C-alpha cells in the first residue's frame, strides 16, 4: 500500500489474526471490539483506539454490533503527515485513549467519509487530521508515552548471538524491542553506529573466523552454523569485508 486509506467496517465476532506491511490505527465508531497486539489485549471503542505498527501480528474480534474506523498509513508517505509524527505514533504497539473532543472529531469525520466515499483527497486529509490530533494526545502523555528511542541493546545482542545460524530479519529485531521496523532502524543506527544488516553480518563473520581458526570443522559446516546460505556466500563475504578468504585464514 502506497497511500492513505480509510474504511468503516464491522469486525466479525469470530476471532481473527493477521499482519500487514503498513501502519494502522483502529478507532471505535460504535459498539466494542477486542484487540490483542504484542501480548497486550484491550477493548477498542469510541474512547480507545489501537495502534498497530507495520508487520505486527494482531488478533481481533467484534463484540455484538460494532463499527470501527480503520486508517491505513504507509510508512514512507510523508505528504500529509510528517515522518516524526508517524514514527512517534507507531514506534510501538499499544492503545490510545480519546478525549471527548477527539471522539467528536472522529464521529464528524466518519459522517463526511460516508457522505463522500469516493473523494480520495477528503479521505487523505481527514486521515491526516485524525493522526495529527492523536499524535498531540500522545505527546501530552494522555495514555501511551512516547519512547525516547532507547533500545534494549543487551537483549538485541543476545538474540543475534543466539540466532546467528538462522536468518535474522529487521522485523524480528524490531518486534523484540516493540518498535516499528522503520523506527527501529533509525534507533539502531543511533545506538550501534551501523545498520542492523551490517551488525549481523559482522557478527556472522566474527563467529565464522573464530571457528575457522579454532575448530576442525569443514568450511561448509561453518558457513551453515554462521547463517550463510552457502560456503561460497561466506567466502564472498570474507573477501569483500575482510580482504581474505576462509581458506587463507585456515592456512595461517
Q: Do the beta carbons of residue 51 and residue 35 sit within 8 Å?
A: no
Asked if residue 117 and residue 27 are part of one domain, the reply reads yes
Q: Do the beta carbons of residue 131 and residue 73 sit within 8 Å?
A: yes
Residue 246 is inside which H or E element, if any? helix 246-250
Does residue 144 lie in a domain region? Answer: no
Give pLDDT, residue 142.
39
Give pLDDT, residue 140.
59
Asked if residue 103 and residue 24 are part of one domain, the reply reads yes
Asked if residue 41 and residue 80 are part of one domain, the reply reads yes
Asked if residue 125 and residue 157 are part of one domain, the reply reads no
Asked if residue 197 and residue 76 are part of one domain, the reply reads no
Asked if residue 123 and residue 15 are part of one domain, the reply reads yes
Angle formed by the axes of helices 181-192 and 196-214, to 10°? Answer: 60
- How far is it, in rounded angstroms, from Cα 97 to Cα 116? 27
Does residue 145 lie in a domain region? Answer: no
Does residue 147 lie in a domain region? Answer: no
Asked if residue 162 and residue 127 are part of one domain, the reply reads no
Give pLDDT, residue 2.
58
Give pLDDT, residue 147.
40
- CATH number of the domain encompassing residue 208: 1.10.10.60
- Tell me which of 139, 162, 185 is where a domain ends: 139
- Per the structure, the count of domains in the chain is 2
Q: Do the beta carbons of residue 234 and residue 222 sit within 8 Å?
A: yes
Q: What is the pTM of this model?
A: 0.58
- CATH number of the domain encompassing residue 23: 2.60.120.280
Asked if residue 110 and residue 37 are part of one domain, the reply reads yes
Asked if residue 79 and residue 40 are part of one domain, the reply reads yes
Mean pLDDT, the chain cut into blocks of 10 residues (252 residues total):
82 89 93 87 91 89 93 79 84 86 94 93 92 82 43 89 91 81 80 90 95 93 94 92 92 82
- Tell me which of 116, 139, 162 is where a domain ends: 139
Give pLDDT, residue 143.
41
Question: Containing domain of residue 95, as a range?
Answer: 5-139
Locate the DSSP E strands across the chain.
5-9, 16-18, 23-37, 40-44, 48-52, 58-73, 94-97
Asked if residue 199 and residue 126 are part of one domain, the reply reads no
Q: What are the C-alpha distances in Å from 10 to residues 68, 134, 163, 197, 209?
A: 6, 22, 41, 40, 56
Amino acid at each position: 500500500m502506497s497511500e492513505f486509506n480509510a474504511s468503516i467496517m464491522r469486525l466479525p465476532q469470530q476471532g481473527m489474526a493477521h499482519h500487514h506491511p503498513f501502519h494502522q490505527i483502529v478507532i471505535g465508531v460504535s459498539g466494542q471490539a477486542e484487540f490483542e497486539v504484542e501480548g497486550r489485549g484491550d477493548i477498542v471503542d469510541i474512547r480507545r483506539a489501537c495502534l498497530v505498527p507495520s508487520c505486527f501480528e494482531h488478533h481481533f474480534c467484534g463484540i455484538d454490533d460494532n463499527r470501527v474506523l480503520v486508517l491505513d498509513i504507509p510508512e514512507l508517505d510523508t505528504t500529509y503527515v510528517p515522518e516524526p509524527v508517524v514514527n512517534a505514533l507507531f514506534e510501538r504497539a499499544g492503545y490510545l485513549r480519546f478525549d471527548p473532543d477527539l471522539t467528536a472529531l472522529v464521529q464528524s469525520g466518519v459522517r463526511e467519509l460516508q457522505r463522500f466515499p469516493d473523494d480520495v483527497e477528503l479521505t487523505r486529509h481527514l486521515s491526516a487530521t485524525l493522526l495529527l490530533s492523536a499524535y498531540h494526545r500522545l505527546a501530552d502523555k494522555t495514555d501511551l508515552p512516547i519512547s525516547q528511542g532507547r533500545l534494549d541493546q543487551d537483549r538485541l545482542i543476545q538474540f543475534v548471538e543466539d540466532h546467528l545460524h538462522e536468518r535474522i530479519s529487521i522485523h524480528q529485531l524490531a518486534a523484540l524491542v516493540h518498535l516499528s521496523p522503520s523506527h527501529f532502524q533509525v534507533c539502531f543506527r543511533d545506538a550501534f553506529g551501523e545498520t542492523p544488516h551490517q551488525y549481523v553480518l559482522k557478527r556472522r563473520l566474527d563467529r565464522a573466523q573464530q571457528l575457522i581458526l579454532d575448530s576442525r570443522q569443514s568450511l561448509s559446516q561453518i558457513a551453515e552454523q554462521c547463517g550463510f546460505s552457502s560456503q561460497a556466500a561466506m567466502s564472498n563475504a570474507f573477501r569483500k569485508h575482510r580482504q581474505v578468504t576462509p581458506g587463507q585464514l585456515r592456512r595461517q
